[in-house]
Amino acid sequence: MNQLGFPLLSLILWLPAAGALALLFVPRANAGLARQVSLATMIATFLLSLLLPLRFETNPMQMAVVGAPPVMQFVEEVPWLPIVGATYSLGIDGISLWLVMLTTFLGPIVTLSTWDSVHKDVRNFQILLLILQTAMIGVFVAQDLLLFYLFWEFTLIPMTFLIGIWGSQNRIYAARKFFLYTFAGSVLMLLALIALHILHRDAIAAVEPGFRGTFSFSQFVSDLRAGRLTLDTTTERLLFGAFFLAFAVKVPLWPFHTWLPDAHVEAPTAGSVVLAGVLLKLGGYGMIRYNLTLFPAASQWAAPALAVLAVIGIIYGAAVAFAQSDMKKLVAYSSVSHMGFVVLGIFALNAEGISGALLQMVNHGLSTSALFLMVGVLYERRHTRELAEYGGLWKVMPVFAAFSLLVALSSAGLPGLNGFVGEFTIITGAFRSPLLGWIYVAFAVGGVVLAAAYLLKLFRSVFMGDVSQPANATLPDLNRRELTAFALLSIPIVVIGVYPAFFFAGMQHSVAALVADLIAQAAGS
């Protein structure tokens, strides 16, 4: 298969970290150089990652083989901690492909946004941003559970500092809340992970004496599917729950969402963009990769209840977003609503739902990042996020208004733009899922109506009406960097809306294989 002769994934993974290392040699005072090095690293990473979809086999095998582990591509495997069977093992499949691309694509845009928003200790900010980039890519490409867990936890540290050092007034509180809340979630995952390791070791050691255990994801999956490792119902559900909790906090699924508005409000623009753009997706990715794949029976068991939480999140997030007067909070709560769609799609447990959820994660990453950039643009100019302080900017900043409208419509799910395709595919999945059904969807489409309500409220308050505040009358329109960032984001927003089949094609095989196994497990148990 597509072996390239050089470790592509490792390069993509470690390039940002190498950039961070290089930044250590840049003088602290030279902010401009630090930004340029960071931007160059991010661009190089993105360009390198373009090889992934180019060389990706959309259909690595003719048929999905039930019982086989997920087919990974660009695989790398090096022994790491042989004493516990942990390996440095990387690989991607259709489930992680577009999420990796999303991460590398947003990298340069995030760095661009720091030009105007970060003026304090620029070098260290860029270092943290680059480290964060490596950690996030690591979560998506790691195929060893221990490695995955390391990357997973490592995303927390730079993000906490980004909020805690470069945030606004209440930053320490928000950083601490963010860290503790998400960390508390992941500790349970660590326990579950170790439990899985021990259970697996014991089960296999009974057949093959001397087996020292493993953390290899594909090993777990193949042994689970082959019946060499069986979990009794209670254990499976407990393990499922422990993994799920970590992911649910990250997504965030209602009612685990309250860290999100605080973190967003306090975080600098770049932090919010990374947080909304990629970090939340780690949760959704984790649910698909680990919960559904490792614990299919428990997934079936829990799906209706979790879908209820997702639907509550859709409506609740939208209603609360509508009532906000702080723009960042509004966008933050809109994330709760949109990620509710993602969880709903995942637990539809069919091909439409899961591929819709995957696409919607990418969509949400694009449009919500753009929304946060939009708030950032305003904040840089006026240093307030209150809706009431704005109005009539359509006249003052027409180009900015045009992009903002596009982004708001994409987030509101206008057909022809990306958000609609994801949402519609998700609700198709939920509608057809034997576990869920039309009643879930009937509520979920309420979220579609409300999304239009709060996004148009945002747009109207900022851009329509007369220029009531004299300070707004002379605001400059987008500068070249901001224009570049918005223009770059607009490309996938339109392309995914018009030609999503291309993106679906990449994930098709992996999702089909996953669903085939879910069905097989359901039939077997």
Partner 1 sequence: MELLIWLIPLLPFIGFLLNVFVIRREREAGLVASGVVVAAFVVTLIAVAMLAGMPPEERRIVSTAWEWINTGSFRVPFAIMFDPLTAVMALLITGVGALIHIYSIGYMHGDPRVVRYFAYLNLFVTMMLFLVMANNLLLLFLGWEGVGLCSFLLIGFWFERKSAGEAAVKAFIVNRIGDAAFILAMLAVFTYFGTLNFYGDGEGGQIGFLERVSDIAGLRIGPDWQPIFVSTAISFLLLIGATGKSAQFPLFVWLPDAMAGPTPVSALIHAATMVTGGVYLMARTEALFTASFTTQGWVAWIGAVTALLAGTAAMAQWDIKRVLAYSTVSQLGFMVAACGMGAYVAAIFHLLTHGIFKALLFLAAGSVIHGTHDTQDMRRMGGLKDAMPITFRTYVIGALALAGIVPLAGFWSKDEILAHAISHGHTPIFIILFLTSLLTAFYMGRQVALVFFGTQRDPGYHPHESPAIMTVPLIVLAVGAVIGGVINLPVLHWLTDWLEPVLHEKAGEFNIWLALIATIGAVGTGYLGWWVYTTNAARIKIGGKDPAYRYSGDIWEGMEEAWYLDRLYQRTVVAGFEQLANFLARVFDPQGVDGLVMGIGRFFGGLANGVRALQTGYVRTYALVFTVGVLLVLGVMLWFAR
Positions in the binding site for partner 1 (CB under 8 A): 177, 180-181, 255, 257-259, 316, 319-320, 322-324, 333, 350-352, 355-356, 392, 394-395, 409, 414-416, 420-421, 424-425, 427-429, 431-432, 438, 441-442, 445-446, 448-449, 452-453, 456-457, 460, 463-466, 498-501, 504-505, 507-508, 511-512, 515
For residue 114, what are the contacts with CB-CB under 8 A and spacing of at least 6? Answer: 35, 38, 122, 125, 126, 129, 268, 269, 270
- Smallest gap from residue 404 Cβ to partner 1 (A): 13
- Beta carbon nearer to partner 1, 22 or 402: 402
d(C-alpha 77, C-alpha 215), whole Å: 12
Q: Specify the residue, 101 or 417, whose C-beta has the smaller distance to partner 1.
A: 417
Select 294 or 318, whichever has its Cβ closest to partner 1. Answer: 318
Cβ proximity to partner 1, 16 vs 313, nearer residue = 313
Between CA 276 and CA 342 the distance in angstroms is 14
Half-sphere exposure of 424 (CA within 13 A, CB side): 13
Rounded Cα distance between 453 and 137, Å, is 35
CB of 359 vs partner 1, minimal distance in Å: 8
The answer to whether 304 touches 396, Cβ cutoff 8 Å, is: no
Q: Compute CA distances 400 → 137, 386, 483, 491, 503, whole Å.
A: 31, 18, 8, 16, 28
CA separation for the pair 433, 140 (Å, rounded): 27
- Between 165 and 453, CB nearer to partner 1: 453
32 vs 434, beta carbon nearer partner 1: 434
Q: Which residues face 144 on adjacent strands?
A: 216
- Number of Cβ within 10 Å of residue 49's Cβ equals 24
The least CB distance from residue 362 to partner 1, in Å, is 14
Nearer to partner 1, 136 or 409 (CB): 409
User: What minimum distance in Å lies between the beta carbon of 371 and partner 1?
Assistant: 18
Q: State which amino acid sits at residue 503.
A: F
CB of 456 to partner 1, least distance (A): 5
Report, in Å, the least distance between residue 258 CB and partner 1.
4
Q: What DSSP assignment string belongs to 20-51?
A: HHHHTTS-TT-HHHHHHHHHHHHHHHHHHHTH
Q: To the nearest whole angstrom, how small is the minimum distance from the Cβ of residue 166 to partner 1?
A: 24
Start-to-end CA span in the chain (Å):
34
